[in-house]
Amino acid sequence: MPFQKLKKYILQRVKSEKEVVDYNFQNTFSEVLARETTHEEGLILLLAVVPHVIPGFYDNIIKQLYPEGGEFPEWGGVKDETYRSMQPTGETIQYILAGNDMQNRLLIRNYFKESHWFFKDQVLFLNPVKEGMPEMSGKLVVPAESLHLLLYGTALKPRFGPDFPAKEITTQMAWEDLVLHTHTLEQIEQIRLWIKHKDLLLKEWGMAKRLAPGYKALFCGPSGTGKTLTASLLGKEFQRPVYRIDLSQIISKYIGETEKNLEKVFVRAENKNWILFFDEADALFGKRSNTRNAQDRFANQSVSYLLQRIEYFNGVVILASNYKNNIDQAFIRRFNAIINFTKPNAEERYRLWKMALPKHLSIATQTLEMVSKKYELTGAQINNAVAYCCLQLAGSRHQNIELQDLLKAIKIEFLKEEKMFVSL
């Protein structure tokens, strides 16, 4: 077992025995991480994971080495109220790998820089420490999804909460169920092409030095026109999780907290094949105002932070807004695509009605044609209307949707928006 070998290895290293058995830690996690790891990287991963598998692992080693007890600051490590055993810090890694060799201790710090793939891929990182404290005294942290991957070989999706204020959205629909204007579909195709050929474009064709690393798109148009569905379909086609950012968990009245909350999302999503979806994006990416008080100044600072953060994010970001003009103008040039989702025309509404109706129910073709021409509804409203009619028929033997039931369902949708309904 890797952990049994690890214990022997640590004991030999710390005792400075002349012949330390060089166990192969290099390939321990290479397969599940789908990347080549060095011997030191494999060892660091094991040292970080072992407390999650064997509580008291480090405590037992220290007792075996120093049976009389005492203080051993060179080992580093921390304990807290909720976990009584020692948890490794960066100093623990330095001591086990380098002992008192100053040059190697300094080199080990490179594994915990933001430029290393440990941090970039959020496999592991050091907890921040108070200003003035030794940086390597931070606790070694393995996020839950990375821990699951290292231990079981399968990825665990992040859990919604204060540390990750985003929820995954999915759909059972297919591209055939999306009814949009031809020009809109052509623009969506550009996003599909970028996701499919990103590596070819940026790496093999050398465009990385000329283009921003990620893809940013703005979906603008009325509610219910397919913006969220399009984002979900992109994720479904390319097997990428789509996370809708929960603005209620992001936006804070306290200065600087909004940026901190957003940074948690961006850091977790960096170098992952995720799609970040900001619905009702006006709340975060709205126009900056003239500075009249401190509140305006800090609000403008939040927008400035977002401008920089979104530009250098290397994944796919989709913003959705009902009105393009509500978005700060500085974001516009940073979008790879601005896609307008318009309300469906009569022909498109007819197609939506046909697709929304269950196959075992029937309705006169003439009736559908009439309501499609007269009543301007979005796809979401049409689905709501069909659901209302189906509920009226549920439990009965009738399978025909009458015109009066359909009109009543449409009237309900009009009243939601306080629009005047005129019957046929």
Phi first, then psi, for residue 215 (nearest 5°) are -125, 130
Residue with token string 């060179």: 74
pLDDT by residue for the chain (424 residues), tens digit each? 578 888 888 888 787 765 556 667 767 788 888 888 888 998 999 999 999 999 999 999 999 988 888 888 899 999 888 888 999 999 999 999 998 889 999 999 999 998 999 998 889 999 999 988 999 999 999 988 889 998 888 878 888 887 788 899 999 999 999 999 999 999 999 999 999 998 888 888 888 888 888 899 999 999 999 999 999 999 999 999 999 988 777 877 777 777 888 888 888 888 888 999 998 887 777 665 555 544 545 555 667 777 778 888 888 999 998 888 878 777 777 889 999 999 999 999 999 999 999 988 888 888 899 999 999 999 999 999 999 999 888 877 778 888 888 999 999 999 998 888 888 7
166-340: in CATH 3.10.20.30: no
- The predicted pLDDT at position 334 comes to 81
- The predicted pLDDT at position 21 comes to 61
- Dig out the tokens for 326 from the structure: 């509500």
- The predicted pLDDT at position 159 comes to 83
| Closest alpha carbon to 315 in 279, 271, 284, 264 | 271
Phi first, then psi, for residue 214 (nearest 5°) are -115, -170
CATH number of 346-416: 1.10.8.60
Q: In the chain, what are the domain boundaries?
A: 2-152, 166-340, 346-416
Phi first, then psi, for residue 141 (nearest 5°) are -115, 130
In this structure, are strands 316-321 and 215-220 parallel, antiparallel, or unpaired?
A: parallel
- The predicted pLDDT at position 139 comes to 94
- The predicted pLDDT at position 138 comes to 94
- The predicted pLDDT at position 298 comes to 53
∠ CA 136-139-145, rounded to 5°: 125
Predicted confidence (pLDDT) per residue in 246-273, tens digit:
877 787 777 777 788 888 888 888 888 8
Q: Is 408 exposed, middle or buried (0-12, 13-18, 19+ CB in 10 A)?
A: middle
- The predicted pLDDT at position 180 comes to 93
Contact present, 247 and 285 (Cβ < 8 Å): no
Cα(79)–Cα(70) distance, integer angstroms: 16
Torsion sign (Cα): 393, 397, 401, 405 = negative
Cα(162)–Cα(250) distance, integer angstroms: 9
- The predicted pLDDT at position 331 comes to 76
Predicted confidence (pLDDT) per residue in 64-86, tens digit:
988 888 888 899 999 888 888 99
Task: Annotate the chain with three-state secondary structure.
Answer: CHHHHHHHHHHHHHHCCCCCCCCCCCCCCHHHHCCCCCHHHHHHHHHHHHHHHCCCHHHHHHHHHCCCCCCCHHHCCEEECCEEEEECEHHHHHHHHHCCCHHHHHHHHHHHCCCCHHHHCCCCEECCCCCCCCHHHCEEECCHHHHHHHHHCCCCCCCCECCECEEECCCCCCHHHCCCCHHHHHHHHHHHHHHHHHHHHHHHCCCCCCCCCCEEEEEECCCCCCHHHHHHHHHHHCCCCEEEECHHHHCCCCCCHHHHHHHHHHHHHCCCCCEEEECCCHHHHECCCCCCCHHHHHHHHHHHHHHHHHHHCCCEEEEEECCHHHECHHHHCCCCEEEECCCCCHHHHHHHHHHHCCCCCECCHHHHHHHHHHCCCCHHHHHHHHHHHHHHHCCCCCCECCHHHHHHHHHHHHHHCCCCCCCC
